[in-house]
Structure 1
Amino acid sequence: MDQAKRIVTDFFEDVRSGKNLSAAYEFMHERVIAHQVQSENEYTIERSPKDYIAHVKEMQELYGEFQLEIQEIVADENKVYVRWKQIGHTAAGKQVIQIASAVYLVAQGKISEYWIQIDRKGLELQSN
């Protein structure tokens, strides 16, 4: 497996899964550009490893200790495409499934930028 694909795979298995949040510092540059789409509105934010850890903790608070499964991962040099399925539960015990995909740019051995799309409306409908 090439280096970029291994970095992103390990990032998902350790950090995005919530299993080893402190590893965010190993896999992410101090400043990561995150391109996001929400309700067809594209916007960009910056995330640090600390911000990303808080983001995953927020998901854990909303959906408990969720399961994360990489459904597809494809690498082309320093860009890695990942599609995943996340299954969690609301406080009332209702199952919530998130399907999302992103392209990660790996530079100098760490994630430096990503482009992500998530079905947020689907999450909203399931959470109600």
Structure 2
Amino acid sequence: MSTTHLIENNKLLVRRLYEDCINRGRPELLAQLIAEDFMASPGEKGASEFANGIAAVRKGFPDVRFEIEDLVAEGDRVAVRWTFRGTHGGPFAGTAASQASVTQTANVIFQISDGKISRAWVQVDRLGLLQQIGALPV
């Protein structure tokens, strides 16, 4: 497989994560995308922890939609800049549903190994999100 083809496949893998698994609510596809030994920068390990994180977001924001703003790849890394929008319609981070419309942004670098996502380094505006749902003062 050529390097260009491999990079395009890596980008498609990350796009499928957001569009199919999260936006369309199809967590059963995670086994195809996330390595069993996956590790995230906050310390989550394994595909099941990754699935738990997605479930928490979808529970707190049932109408969540991730929009990929930028998707760039080189070698075994894929960088994505995204915006998510949703309504705080369920519990999230210990805060009951506020029905607030929220927007969150993040930058994530994924590492791809053997055709699956094996690592993620996340820079997310969690403070802004918690302020929008009333969990923290503005």
TM-score, normalisation: structure 2: 0.80
Look up the match of 1:86: 84
Tell me which moved more, 26-35 or 52-61. Answer: 52-61
Task: Structure 1: give runs of 5+ residues left out of the alignment.
Answer: 37-44
Work out the CA distance in 2 between the residues paired with 1:59 and 1:46: 15
The answer to whether 1:3 aligns with 2:9 is: yes
Q: CA deviation at 1:85?
A: 0.6
Higher relative contact order (CA 8 A, sep 6+): 1
Alignment match of 1:124 (pick from 118, 127, 130): 130
Paired residue type of 2:63: E
Instruction: Describe the shift of the 1:47–1:15 C-alpha distance in structure 2 as closer, same or farther (beyond 3 A).
Output: farther
8 A contact 2:98–2:133 mirrored in 1: no
Aligned residues: 120
Q: How far is 1:50 from its partner?
A: 2.0
Q: Is this contact kept in 1: 2:69–2:83, CA < 8 A? A: yes
- Cα distance in structure 2, aligned partners of 1:19 and 1:68: 12
1:83, 1:73 → 2: CA distance? 7
1:18/1:32 CA distance change after superposition, 3 Å? farther
Deviation at 1:84, TM superposition (A): 0.6
Q: What CA distance in whole angstroms lies between the structure 1 residues aligned with 2:122 and 2:115?
A: 20
| Residues 4-52 of structure 1 deviation map (CA, whole Å, 9 limit, x = unaligned) | 111111122122335211111000110111113xxxxxxxx13322222
Identity percentage over the alignment?
26
Alpha-carbon separation, structure 1, partners of 2:54 and 2:132: 19
- TM score, norm. by length of structure 1: 0.86
Equivalent pair of 1:31/1:46 in contact (CA under 8 Å): no
Root mean square deviation, CA, Å:
1.5
After superposition, residues 33-72 of structure 1 pair within 5 angstroms as 33-36=39-42, 45-72=43-70
Unaligned runs of 5+ in 2: 89-96
Which entry has the higher C-alpha Rg, 1 or 2?
2
Higher strand residue share: 1
Distance 1:78 1:16 in 2: 22
